[in-house]
Amino acid sequence: MSQYLLLRHREIPEISRLEVYRQHGGFEAFQKAVTTMTPDQVTEVVKASGLRGRGGAGFPTGLKWSFMDRKSWPHYVVANADESEPGTFKDREIMEGNPFQFLEGVAIASYAVGAQRAYIYIRGEYQHIARWLDEKIAEMEAAGLLGEKLFGTDYSLRIYTHLGAGAYICGEETALLESLEGKRGQPRVRPPFPPTFGLYGKPTVVNNVETLTNVPLIVQNGAEWYRRMGTPDAPGVKIFSLSGRVKRPGNYELPFGLTFRQLIYEYGGGILDDRPIKAIMPAGASSSLLRVDDRVLDTPLDYVALRQFGSDLGSASVIVIDDTVSIDWVIQKTIRFFKHESCGKCTPCREGTYWMKHLIDRIREDGKEEKQVKLLLDVARQIQGKCLCALGEFSTMAVVSGIERFPEDFRETVLEGVPG
Amino acid sequence: MSKMVTLTIDGIKVTVPEGTLLVDAARQAGIHIPVFCYHPKLEPAGMCRMCLVEIGRPMIDRNTGQPILDENGQPKLQFLGKLETACTNTVSEGMVVFTQSEKARQGQKATVEFLLTSHPLDCPICDKGGECPLQDLTMAYGPAQSRFEYEDKIHLAKHVPLGDLIYLDRERCILCSRCIRFQAELVGEAVLTFDERGRSSQIVTVSDPPFDSVFSGNTTDICPVGALTTADFRFGARPWELKAAASICSQCAVGCNIVYNTRREARSDGRIVIKRVLPRQNEEVNDLWICDKGRFGYHYTESRARLTAPRAEGRPVSWEQALQKAAEGLRSASQKALIASGRLSNEDLYTLKRLADHLQMPAYLYTPIGGGEWVRRYGLSTGSDLSALGKGDAILVVASDLYEEAPLWYLRVRQAAERGAALIIAHPRTTRLERQAPHQYVLRYAYGDEGEIIERLRREAKIAQTLHEARNLVIFFGNEGMGLEQSESLAAACADLLVETGHAGRIHNGLIGVWPHPNAQGAWELGFQPIFDLQPLFETMDALYLVALDPFGDGWVRQNGRKPFLIVQDILETATVRQADVVLAACAYTEREGTFTSGERRVQRYYPAVPRYGDSRPDFAITAALGAKLGLNLEAQSAARLFQEIAGAFPAFKGLDYARLAETRPQWPPTGRADYPFSGTAQPNTQGMGKILSAVAEGTMTPLPPTMQKESLRPEEGTLLLVPIHRLFDAGSLLTPSALLHGRIGAPHIILHPKTAQEAGVTAGEKVLIEWEDRQAEALVKVEEHVPVGVGLVPRSMGIPLSRAARARLHLAERVR
Ligand SMILES: Cc1cc2nc3c(=O)[nH]c(=O)nc-3n(C[C@H](O)[C@H](O)[C@H](O)COP(=O)(O)O)c2cc1C
Ligand code: SF4
Ligand code: SF4
Ligand code: SF4
Ligand code: FES
């Protein structure tokens, strides 16, 4: 069996060409779904496969599809290609390398939920990818894989790309929908969730690029086949975006259940200069910092595994931190990022990130005073549990975990040798 | 009837309809959950996070669908573990809510502390100080001290004009978006928005001209901080120094309920003057809103042109002398008439009518629109309420631009359409209502074809069906492009349509005249005859008694030789006053009490707000004194007694008196001091919501077959048809004293379609000379797409004395010179 399910271009370099993709079974799943399965049967297969969303929250994909309100039409599918989490670069590789498998996933999802229009919302910096996908979509249309009455059935589908304008918040699904509608990218109050009230107020499925790219193989090979990989909590494979102080950063497609030790040392080649590993951010800038010990390094990874350590796998953008890096520097980076990206809609996040930025800047410039550090921790905790969307919560993760788990990095200093 | 749901909030059991927001349910039970971004008239935004509470929901057994019980037999509750916003969660059966628990208080305190980190706390110089939700909620819920470093505070611009009327203080803004949502959701004009993001977010106006809305002032009432202030009131007074008087707006026929806030003012020679106008809640008339004309147009009451004493032959005289002189003039005239305007109260008009009858002279109502007779018979009747209209109902708007002519009707009609009412608009051009309301059918006709409007509505299958099937039908008619007679025929045709479709004489159904004045309907009810062209009267009469009108100022009467004896009663020194033989100085309606009958036939009381100016007197008292000189005994002291007489004499007014008009009914949302954070500073209604007149006896009579005179002019190839239109902000003598409105009023102008402008060889911004009949006037050219080709729209009361549609020629003013 081949090594890759998603990053197949690494084995089949020309798979981004339609005929090559088709030679390797491309679009058989879509045709099979449309011509031999009912939409509900497709949803059932995906449900049974245990596929969970790869955008961060890990929500069961088939279950999400089954929530689509059948009393309200039309339905839409939106692929979330906003990929803005610092440390995440997997969707980009999929779309650049194996675009048709992703597009086929979009098409199958659309069929499963009865959508005749699908949109791919792409972060502004990926303009070249949008143009690239437009070409691929045009090829699909020319080949009769998109358009009216597909495969001689009554099912019709069109896919459109849409570029964002550089806001991290537009990766949040409701802000994304607002932006797609041409409005300011700010999250909506949820509930109602998109499967009830989505694009233009109509039922909408929003799925991550990687999530959707799994779908064709699941439909083709069946749920059982998929479940054979990974863990019971998280069947299948995951692309880990590995970065930070490792020798070989990059995307690694691996089954769930592997350990950080394998990922970092076996695949990532270990830590730069062979220094000791200090901390891991498993989900990009939004992570709770893990203080690394053997238990952490040897835990088989899936969505529940990291909860015991007070962290989350999220989108599996693993940032590795060694002993040359001071945690207050990390926190300053994340706070600055979230302060810059806070959409400003709700008070705790808008004001809190601004406040935290002033505090961390002062702490790093004027020395680590206990009072200031404590206030920073208080402010972060005061933000928690009060925001309109998860970004506000994300902004506090590194702060709270960093101060709590790495107290030695916040001991009172009189401005000397702040590393970083 | 929707299903009822029972929940417990802070230990109190509350039963409310399913779908009610938790914050509203609590308020109905007397529990104030603190809010900033939530407003009961707007869609919840859930963004300020002030209304955080703890919500427990009964756990439901998946198999049985029944609540799971604990050992005590009580339903087990499930709490989310984090606080939730009361403004975005709807109630559900068995919900248990804590708004004051340790945890909830901690959340509310956190939000206040966060908000204050960016807030300048300049309460001592802030106009909102004393009536500010942020102040109040900080006192009630905030921390005593901030932990934020003062030097880290953000500093932003404090005097940003958002148009001529509203200023923004960016530091004070808490980014609640109420102003944005008010404009976008309620008015349908998204003229405000946020720019930037995060802590750099700021309110900006995106329209040209800026803040292009006639409802802008309302945003200052609902802004929960002193971020939005009016150019009129800012730095003018502290709220606690102000007294309040209930009144009715006199700027159009809607009859919005308002409050005049007054204070003794050094700059006004120590007189008590009006400092600002606030909306007064009347959910049957204006909800919590007023338009900018109503809010800012009151300055005429303190204009230098106010008449302070009577005059005869140009010299101040005593009241005795003036009345004597006037009485003689009337007595000795064989041909005489009385002309009054719809600005007068019912009491004034009734007194005038009595005098006219006594002297056997006609009593005329000076009005550009006819048809009030039909409104009297087929208008709304007791208990009707536009806010009751929605899905299944229809509203027809004919020949009227409600946005410019009666803004609150625009708002309420738009709301009804939002609720699902079918809106049918018949107009020769695109109006704002057409652009901004859903569920509409449009009938476009050419100027001059007004006689066919109703016939064409009948012929359009879809419209006809909608009209017939509507549960309720309300028809608004105006007079764009028409003279008095044509609009009268139009009204008759509309009444006919109401009868034909089976809507006549029913509650929530009827005809509404979009009169330019607050009490024109009162004049129709009291038996006045309409007149617009006064020139013939000036040429045939020996004496005229003109009350509250300025035909010379309007430019529609010209003196040629023969001059009748002129008695002019007014509050301002007008061009007509200058022609008078006797001038009788009336006080403004803000200085006395009385009633107006709105276009919806709602009789409403207003109360004295400020003392009388000089030696001026109420109109009814002046007329009664004049009557006394002519042997007629009229009530001169009490408006209330006069109203009793009216109620005795006119069946439609039967059973009404001042006490009944002062009655109020419970209203939602709650208003008043304790509810400023919830509903804004619109004032509670404690002094009367008014009463709609009953249907009159003739209510069931079939109207005359409409006989529209075909005298209206049509646009024709090669000529220009001038059409007078009504603009909210005009240069009339009552509005020009409000200096802050001059930007909105602008210069005299003519509006042309681009093609018409091109054919005439003129471009936008150029000055042209317009010539029609034997007249001419200069105007600036505006070019707008919505004007029909071959037509030039000329706003009324803007210095171009065009009284009705006319053919005209245009020249570039420069070229003429
Ligand atoms: C602040 C924020 C940023 C997010 N950014 C992304 C993103 O860039 N890409 C993505 O797929 N999901 C992102 N998400 C998650 C989406 O809201 C959503 O859960 C996801 O697209 C659902 O797809 P899935 O079920 O396939 O994971 C973000 C969420 C938040 C709160
Ligand atoms: S939490 Fe932050 S990003 Fe999310 S809505 Fe609030 S301000 Fe916007
Ligand atoms: S100006 Fe006032 S109403 Fe508008 S967003 Fe700011 S605080 Fe809210
Ligand atoms: S809508 Fe008419 S009555 Fe109401 S405030 Fe405006 S001018 Fe006055
Ligand atoms: S979030 Fe509920 S009032 Fe603002």
pLDDT digits (tens, 9 = 90+) for B399-424: 999 999 999 999 999 999 999 999 99
- Across the interface, of B45, B81, B114, the residue whose CB is closest to A351 is B114
Mutation choice for ligand 2 from A337, A346, A353, A384, CB with most ligand atoms inside 8 A: A346
| SS3 sequence of chain A | CCCCCCCHHHCCCCCCCHHHHHHCCCCHHHHHHHHHCCHHHHHHHHHHHCCECCCCCCCEHHHHHHCCCCCCCCEEEEEEECCCCCCCCHHHHHHHHCHHHHHHHHHHHHHHHCEEEEEEEECHHHHHHHHHHHHHHHHHHHCCCCECCHHHCCCCEEEEEEECCCCHHHHCHHHHHHHHCCCCCCCCCCCCCCCCCCHHHCCEEEEEHHHHHHHHHHHHHCHHHHHCCECCCCECEEEEEEEECECCCEEEEEECCCCHHHHHHHHCCCEHHHCCEEEEECEHHHCCCEECCHHHHCCCCCCCHHHHHCCCCCCCEEEEEECCCCHHHHHHHHHHHHHHHCCCCCHHHHHHHHHHHHHHHHHHHHCCCHHHHHHHHHHHHHHCCCCCCHHHHHHHHHHHHHHHHCHHHHCCCCCCCCCC
Output the CATH code of domain A327-410: 1.20.1440.230
Average pLDDT of the segment spanning A46-72? 97
A57 CB within 8 Å of a chain B CB: no
For A:350-369, CB contacts with B below 8 A are 350-355, 358, 362
Q: Round the average pLDDT of chain B to a whole number and report it.
A: 94
B148 CB neighbour count, 10 Å cutoff = 21
Residue B126 falls inside a structural domain: no
Mutation choice for ligand 1 from A106, A126, A173, A342, CB with most ligand atoms inside 8 A: A173
CATH number at residue B734: 2.40.40.20
Count CB pairs under 8 A between chains A and B.
89
Q: Which ligand is nearest to the CA of A394?
A: 1
Cβ <8 Å between B115 and A351: yes
Average pLDDT of the segment spanning B106-132? 96
Average pLDDT of the segment spanning B778-790? 95
Average pLDDT of the segment spanning B720-742? 93
Distance from the Cα of A140 to chain B's closest Cα (Å) equals 38
CATH number at residue B36: 3.10.20.740
| Same domain, residue pair B343 and B417 | no
| Same domain, residue pair B382 and B448 | yes
| Same domain, residue pair B159 and B288 | yes
- The DSSP H or E segment spanning B789 is none
Q: How far is the CA of A56 from the centre of ligand 1 (A)?
A: 6
- pTM above threshold 0.90: yes
Q: Which two tokens stand for residue B814?
A: 């420069």
As for the ipTM of the complex, it is 0.95
At B537, the amino acid letter reads: L
The answer to whether residues B362 and B529 touch, using CB atoms and an 8 Å cutoff, is: yes
Q: Which residues of B touch A352 (CB under 8 A)?
A: 114
Q: Which residues of A touch B196 (CB under 8 A)?
A: 344
**Is residue B707's pLDDT more than 70?**
no
**Is residue A420's pLDDT more than 50?**
no
* Structural domain boundaries, residue B191: 151-299
pLDDT at B561: 67
Q: What distance in Å separates the CA atoms of residue B456 and residue B462, rounded to the nearest whole number?
A: 11
- Omega before A13 within 30 of 0, i.e. cis: no
For B74, which DSSP code? P
Nearest to A355 by CA among B108, B170, B151: B151
Model confidence pLDDT, tens digit, residues B175-215: 999 999 999 999 999 999 999 999 999 999 999 999 999 99
Average pLDDT of the segment spanning B472-500? 94
pLDDT at B36: 98
**A141-145, B433-437, B455-459, B764-768: least confident range:** B433-437
Mutation choice for ligand 3 from B132, B134, B172, B173, CB with most ligand atoms inside 8 A: B173
Q: Which residues of B touch A375 (CB under 8 A)?
A: 147
Q: How far is the CA of B85 from the centre of ligand 5 (A)?
A: 6
| Same domain, residue pair B535 and B679 | yes
| Same domain, residue pair B729 and B794 | yes
CATH number at residue B258: 3.30.70.20
Model confidence pLDDT, tens digit, residues B497-516: 999 999 998 999 999 999 99
- 3-class DSSP state of B287: strand
Q: Among the ranges A128-132, B141-145, B504-508, which has the highest mean pLDDT value?
A: A128-132
- Any residues with CB less than 8 A from the CB of B174 and at least 6 apart, and which? A347, B36, B48, B115, B118, B119, B134, B224, B225, B227
pLDDT at B609: 98
B197 CB within 8 Å of a chain A CB: yes
- Would you give the distance in Å from CA A207 to the centre of its chain? 9
CATH number at residue B608: 3.40.50.740
Residue B698's pLDDT band (cuts 50, 70, 90): very low
Every domain range in chain A assigned CATH 3.10.20.600: 237-322
User: Cα separations (Å) of B77 from B14, B56, B63, B74, B92?
Assistant: 17, 5, 17, 9, 12
pLDDT at B2: 82
| Same domain, residue pair B528 and B640 | yes
Cβ <8 Å between A189 and B48: no
B47 CB within 8 Å of a chain A CB: yes
Distance from the Cα of A215 to chain B's closest Cα (Å) equals 30
Average pLDDT of the segment spanning B352-361? 98
User: Cα separations (Å) of A371 from A368, A374, A410, B13, B151?
Assistant: 9, 5, 11, 45, 17
| Same domain, residue pair B541 and B677 | yes
- Across the interface, of B115, B117, B197, the residue whose CB is closest to A167 is B197
Q: What distance in Å separates the CA atoms of residue A339 and residue B551, rounded to the nearest whole number?
A: 64
Burial environment of residue A324 by CB neighbours within 10 A (0 to 12, 13 to 18, 19 or more): middle
β-pairing verdict for B257-265 and B243-248: antiparallel
Residue A415's pLDDT band (cuts 50, 70, 90): low
**Total tally of structural domains belonging to chain B:** 5
| Domain-terminating residue out of B692, B709, B744 | B692
**What atom of ligand 1 comes closest to residue A123's alpha carbon?**
8
Average pLDDT of the segment spanning B329-352? 98
Distance from the Cα of B180 to chain A's closest Cα (Å) equals 13
**Is residue B813's pLDDT more than 80?**
no
| Same domain, residue pair B246 and B354 | no
- For B177, nearest residue in chain A (alpha carbons): A345
Cβ <8 Å between A350 and B50: no
Torsion of CA B578, B584, B587, B589, to 10 degrees: -90
Cβ <8 Å between A358 and B152: yes
Q: Which ligand is nearest to the CA of A204?
A: 1
Average pLDDT of the segment spanning B18-37? 98
Average pLDDT of the segment spanning A12-35? 97
Q: How far is the CA of B234 from the centre of ligand 1 (A)?
A: 46
Cβ <8 Å between A342 and B50: no
A344 CB within 8 Å of a chain B CB: yes
**Is residue B702's pLDDT more than 60?**
no
| Same domain, residue pair B538 and B652 | yes
Burial environment of residue A3 by CB neighbours within 10 A (0 to 12, 13 to 18, 19 or more): exposed
**A203-217, B61-75, B529-543: least confident range:** B61-75
**Is residue B710's pLDDT more than 60?**
no
Average pLDDT of the segment spanning B342-357? 98
| Same domain, residue pair B379 and B504 | yes
- Would you give the distance in Å from CA B130 to the centre of its chain? 27
Model confidence pLDDT, tens digit, residues B545-564: 999 999 998 888 887 667 89
Residue B191 falls inside a structural domain: yes
Residue B713 falls inside a structural domain: no
| Domain-terminating residue out of B269, B299, B329 | B299
| Ligand 3 close to Cβ of residue B128 (< 6 A) | no
Q: Round the average pLDDT of chain A to a whole number and report it.
A: 96
The answer to whether residues A174 and A188 touch, using CB atoms and an 8 Å cutoff, is: yes
A165 CB within 8 Å of a chain B CB: no
Q: Which residues of A touch B204 (CB under 8 A)?
A: none
| Same domain, residue pair B556 and B607 | yes
Cβ <8 Å between A167 and B114: no
Q: Which ligand is nearest to the CA of B229?
A: 3
User: Cα separations (Å) of A54 from B36, B410, B470, B495?
Assistant: 36, 49, 52, 65
Cβ <8 Å between A345 and B199: no
Residue A413's pLDDT band (cuts 50, 70, 90): confident
The ligand 1 site (C-beta within 6 Å) comprises A 53-57, 59, 80, 82-85, 169, 171-173, 206-208, 211, 389-391
Residue B708's pLDDT band (cuts 50, 70, 90): low
Residue B143 falls inside a structural domain: no
Distance from the Cα of B47 to chain A's closest Cα (Å) equals 4
Nearest to B341 by CA among B518, B80, B501: B518
| Same domain, residue pair B380 and B345 | no
Q: How far is the CA of B49 from the centre of ligand 2 (A)?
A: 11
Q: What distance in Å separates the CA atoms of residue B206 and residue B612, rounded to the nearest whole number?
A: 43
The answer to whether residues B346 and B522 touch, using CB atoms and an 8 Å cutoff, is: yes
- The DSSP H or E segment spanning B75 is none
A396 CB within 8 Å of a chain B CB: no
Q: What distance in Å separates the CA atoms of residue B539 and residue B545, rounded to the nearest whole number?
A: 15
The answer to whether residues A49 and A218 touch, using CB atoms and an 8 Å cutoff, is: yes
Nearest to A108 by CA among A16, A6, A217, A8: A217
Average pLDDT of the segment spanning B472-486? 95
Q: Phi and psi at residue B272, in whole multiples of 5°?
A: -80, 125
| Ligand 3 close to Cβ of residue B173 (< 6 A) | yes
Cβ <8 Å between A350 and B88: no
- Would you give the distance in Å from CA B222 to the centre of its chain? 17
Residue B699's pLDDT band (cuts 50, 70, 90): very low
Q: Phi and psi at residue B203, in whole multiples of 5°?
A: -75, 130
Model confidence pLDDT, tens digit, residues A80-90: 999 999 999 99
Residue B430 falls inside a structural domain: yes
The DSSP-derived string for B136-161 is: HHHHHHS-SS--S-GGG-----S-EE
Query: HSE-up of A90 (CA within 13 Å, CB side)?
Result: 33
Q: Which two tokens stand for residue B109?
A: 């305190």
Nearest to B279 by CA among B294, B263, B293: B294
A183 CB within 8 Å of a chain B CB: no
**Is residue A280's pLDDT more than 60?**
yes
Cβ <8 Å between A342 and B197: yes
Q: What distance in Å separates the CA atoms of residue B546 and residue B356, rounded to the nearest whole number?
A: 12
The class of domain A8-227 in CATH terms is alpha beta
From 3.90.100.10, 3.10.20.600, 1.10.8.590, 3.40.50.2300, which CATH number describes the A237-322 domain?
A: 3.10.20.600
Q: Which residues of B touch A351 (CB under 8 A)?
A: 114-115, 117-118, 199
For an interface test with B, which of A178, A345, A372 has the most B Cβ atoms less than 10 Å from its Cβ? A345
**What atom of ligand 3 comes closest to residue B36's alpha carbon?**
8
In degrees, rounded to 5, the angle at the alpha carbon of residue A352 between the alpha carbons of residues A350 and A358 is: 110
Q: Phi and psi at residue A60, in whole multiples of 5°?
A: -55, 125
Cβ <8 Å between B45 and A189: yes
